[in-house]
Structure 1
């Protein structure tokens, strides 16, 4: 199976890169932030029911749609790293539907590994930012980002079964359709908040290089740590820290981040106080 071709043609990568590239002035970014918060709500998976929603989304995207993983009995996609993870989802408010999910994999015990350490450690050639150099409790990985196809389709995709997934144009307003491609950005912002609020100082992610380049348009500047390898498609290891994230985020998208950070931090605090 040609994972590289399949991933490059998937809407998770394609929609966001094209949409981000179209943002040229901060006013557009402010508008997206307003639209995003009007229709979409980030949530921390504070209970097993919300975690189950994340596992369903992952199964829908990774198993049923893209076939990166085998179909699982029960329709839940889970792995060995979920027990050491915090999850975030983004809900579409009008339909009360969960659109997407992401997780931060933390190190909770000294013998635990991050996914990148278990499967892709040799791809990291930057010795200075190698995870072995840092306190184990201060490293984490952004992992298993998934957006359901219904919330990835561009309004220009009119034909049924298009590469970006089916959607009923009459179901969502034009304003809603404009903000849907930015769900992935919202997930990265939610992941950043979860990392910062749990004391993480060094974050890793295996990412398609084209997506990493596109993220620079909004000021999310991942640092590449090695050459791309074949890992469910052509992906490379990347690094980002809270300082790098906060210092480079573009003014327009700072507005979106502040809103997401407020929601996520409040929910994380409710967990710690429970």
Structure 2
């Protein structure tokens, strides 16, 4: 990637990928099948299901991102989800609140005391094996290392995980979410710092498919703080998410008129 391309991340992303909000049953089925392929068949994190769909209790109150290639084949690449508070029981803990119940530092923030409609959790990020490039990533659902950003002499950019995270931010912004929580590898904050995203660790590490730490991000601060070279990618991702909602609304209107 040239230095010029590095500063045109939106254009570079569109050459290779398309991001969508999985708003209908068919798109969500793709999400669940990617997750089954990665989490159940490849990594063994979850049991193999007869229908080859990895679904849990949180999915019925979650929003999902689905990443494809931009070529004619529109190959499936990866996915993630934004877990919202349960509408009928908003005080029900989010996944990380259960996993990290014993390690959360509630002096920093206590999710149970926040307005539940203003918080959400990013989880289930999964990238298919053919798009997890480096040796040693076979046992991880996705990869993000400092090496993904290249060197000063030859910069590059990890489009796949970053676009999926930005997709979750775009969904959160649409839903009026103020605070995002995420359970991640300890060094994610270092990697995201390169993009201008501040992640605050809010508790001690836990053993959850490897060592993970609970962290939080402020949605508005993420958008305001993005470094200038990331902003074109954010605009493209946000526009693609908006287009999905517009298309879905138009489709519903047509159905209603028939």
TM-score (norm 1): 0.78
SS in 2 for 1:91: strand
From 249, 254, 257, the counterpart of 2:226: 249
Matches within 5 A, 1:67-82: 67-82=44-59
Look up the match of 1:12.
none
* 1:268 shift after superposition: 2.8
- For residues 34-67 of structure 1, the C-alpha deviation after alignment (integer angstroms, 9 at most, x for no partner) is 2211120000111111111001111111111111
* 1:31 shift after superposition: 3.9
Comparing 118-127 and 39-48, the one that deviates more: 118-127
Look up the match of 2:213.
236
* Structure with the bigger percentage of helix: 1
In structure 2, do the counterparts of structure 1 residues 129 and 32 end up closer, same or farther at CA, with 3 Å as the change threshold?
Answer: same
SS in 2 for 1:122: coil
From 101, 114, 136, the counterpart of 1:163: 136
Are 1:60 and 2:37 an aligned pair?
yes
The answer for unaligned runs of 5 or more in structure 2 is: 139-154, 253-258
Are 1:142 and 2:119 an aligned pair?
no
The answer for unaligned runs of 5 or more in structure 1 is: 1-22, 155-161, 166-177
Query: For the aligned residues, what is the CA RMSD?
Result: 2.3
In structure 2, do the counterparts of structure 1 residues 39 and 28 end up closer, same or farther at CA, with 3 Å as the change threshold?
Answer: closer
What is the CA–CA distance in structure 1 between the aligned matches of 2:131 and 2:91, rounded to whole Å? 38
- For residues 83-131 of structure 1, the C-alpha deviation after alignment (integer angstroms, 9 at most, x for no partner) is 1100111110212111000100001233433111222222210434221
Matches within 5 A, 1:1-274: 27=4, 29-94=6-71, 95-107=73-85, 108-109=87-88, 110-154=90-134, 162-164=135-137, 181-271=158-248, 274=252
Q: Which structure would you say has the larger RCO, counting Cα contacts within 8 Å and 6 or more residues apart? A: 1
What is the CA–CA distance in structure 2 between the aligned matches of 1:271 and 1:113, rounded to whole Å? 30
Asked if the contact 1:123–1:236 (Cα under 8 Å) also holds between the matched residues in 2, the reply is no
What is the CA–CA distance in structure 1 between the aligned matches of 2:246 and 2:84, rounded to whole Å? 17
TM-score (norm 2): 0.82
In structure 2, do the counterparts of structure 1 residues 27 and 43 end up closer, same or farther at CA, with 3 Å as the change threshold?
Answer: same
* 1:259 shift after superposition: 0.6
SS in 1 for 2:198: coil
* 1:32 shift after superposition: 3.8
In structure 2, do the counterparts of structure 1 residues 139 and 26 end up closer, same or farther at CA, with 3 Å as the change threshold?
Answer: farther
Asked if the contact 1:85–1:104 (Cα under 8 Å) also holds between the matched residues in 2, the reply is yes
What is the CA–CA distance in structure 2 between the aligned matches of 1:224 and 1:189, rounded to whole Å? 19
